[in-house]
């Protein structure tokens, strides 16, 4: 772990933090609005931006102007390159495993920067998880929501078993009230967590297992979905499955996907996955690609207005 977190020193005065990965300015507007939405929800915990060496000076200036703390992390990749040309976003996803190495904190909740917090979810900082002394051998190594394996866009390169019948969320359609509060068991469906939100108790022992897998060509060659494939392989059934409301993929809301369980009023954290992102849309396109994009724009507009009132107006 020496090269990963050589000086485990807190960049904020809090033992528990939210983190998000940033490698370029293409997602910076998302990160800034995520931070704003966390604060607007009344969270007691700060967001730390985990940046790689590819993050430019303009991005650092934008974070500094808004008082968002940051920490440099290495860009994680398997020792044997994995071809994600069909889904280039997965090249960055290995680095989302870094929070397991942040042993200066008692708990880290990793968030994707294309998320929008709609309701306070500070309870994720206190849900019971295994302590670091269990070294990843317990039954509650981390917490996450299930990945949706319905493949609603019918992407041809996705595995053939990614169909609604194998989706953990499908198993909850007959119990929509329960689905707001309880996740399907971690063994349900294809039993894969979604890497967009991960609740982690940092542990050198667990992180060392991750690093060992990154060095195994035979393992990483089989991981079609990068970090989330690895976690389901390393800790099968030994993670806490959260309800969809903590990582509400916008596609779940689509008619015929998982609208049977989706309730706008219950969603705590919206995940605006897929392209285009809301911030890539012009003014005339707002919400046209997906209604949830308009939700993002409404929060973003409030953020920009507040920042301008403080003299911050850098285009992000």
Query: Do 228 and 194 meet the contact criterion of CB atoms below 8 Å apart?
Result: yes
CB-hemisphere CA count at 13 Å for 242? 27
pTM: 0.93
Give the CATH fold of the 16-309 domain: Spore Coat Polysaccharide Biosynthesis Protein SpsA; Chain A (3.90.550)
d(Cα 275, Cα 216) in Å, to the nearest integer?
31
Other C-beta atoms closer than 10 Å to the C-beta of 204 total 16
Q: Going residue by residue through the chain (316 aa), what tens digit of pLDDT does each one get?
A: 445 686 789 999 999 999 999 999 999 999 999 999 999 999 999 999 999 999 999 999 999 999 999 999 987 766 566 454 555 555 466 677 899 999 999 999 999 999 999 999 999 999 999 999 999 999 999 999 999 999 999 999 889 999 999 999 999 999 999 999 999 999 999 999 999 999 999 999 998 898 888 777 666 667 766 677 789 889 999 999 999 999 999 999 999 999 999 999 999 999 999 999 999 998 788 888 899 999 999 999 999 999 999 999 999 9
d(Cα 255, Cα 252) in Å, to the nearest integer?
8
CA 164 vs CA 171, 246, 278: distances in Å: 9, 21, 27
Measured at the alpha carbon of residue 98, what is the angle toward residues 90 and 209, in degrees to the nearest 5? 95
Q: Which of 30, 47, 49, 51 is nearest to 38 (CA)?
A: 47
Query: Do 246 and 121 meet the contact criterion of CB atoms below 8 Å apart?
Result: yes
Phi, psi of 143 (to 5 degrees): -125, 145
Question: Collapsing DSSP states into helix, strand and coil, what is residue 3?
Answer: coil
Backbone φ/ψ region at 135: left (φ over 0), alpha (ψ -120 to 50), beta: left
Q: Which of 234, 256, 270, 245 is nearest to 117 (CA)?
A: 270
**Which is it for strands 115-117 and 269-271: parallel, antiparallel or unpaired?**
antiparallel
DSSP code, position 193: B
* Residue boundaries of the structural domains of the chain: 16-309
């Amino acid at each position: 772990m020496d090269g990963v977190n050589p000086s485990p020193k807190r960049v904020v005065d809090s033992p528990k933090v939210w983190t998000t990965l940033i490698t370029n300015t293409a997602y910076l507007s998302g990160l800034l609005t995520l931070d704003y939405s966390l604060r607007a929800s009344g969270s007691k915990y700060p967001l730390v931006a985990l940046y790689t060496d590819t993050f430019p000076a303009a991005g650092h200036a934008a974070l500094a102007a808004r008082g968002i703390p940051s920490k440099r992390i290495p860009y994680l990749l398997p020792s044997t390159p994995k071809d994600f040309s069909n889904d280039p976003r997965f090249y960055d996803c290995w680095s989302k495993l870094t929070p397991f190495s942040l042993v200066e904190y008692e708990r880290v909740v990793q968030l994707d920067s294309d998320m929008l917090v709609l309701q306070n979810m500070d309870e994720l900082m206190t849900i019971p998880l295994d302590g670091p002394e269990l070294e990843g051998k317990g039954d509650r190594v981390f917490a996450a929501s299930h990945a949706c394996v319905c493949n609603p866009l019918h992407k041809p390169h996705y595995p053939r078993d990614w169909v609604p019948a194998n989706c953990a969320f499908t198993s909850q359609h007959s119990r929509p009230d329960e689905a707001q509060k309880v996740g399907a068991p971690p063994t349900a469906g294809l039993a894969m967590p979604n890497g967009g939100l991960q609740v982690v108790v940092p542990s050198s022992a667990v992180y060392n297992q991750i690093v060992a897998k990154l060095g195994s060509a035979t393992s990483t060659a089989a991981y079609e979905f990068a970090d989330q494939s690895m976690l389901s392989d390393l800790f099968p059934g030994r993670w806490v499955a959260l309800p969809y409301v903590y990582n509400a993929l916008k596609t779940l809301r689509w008619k015929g996907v998982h609208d049977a369980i989706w309730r706008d009023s219950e969603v705590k954290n919206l995940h605006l996955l897929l392209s285009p992102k809301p911030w890539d849309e012009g003014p005339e396109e707002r919400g046209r690609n997906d209604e949830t994009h308009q939700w993002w724009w409404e929060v973003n507009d409030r953020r920009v207005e507040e920042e301008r009132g403080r003299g911050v107006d850098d285009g992000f």
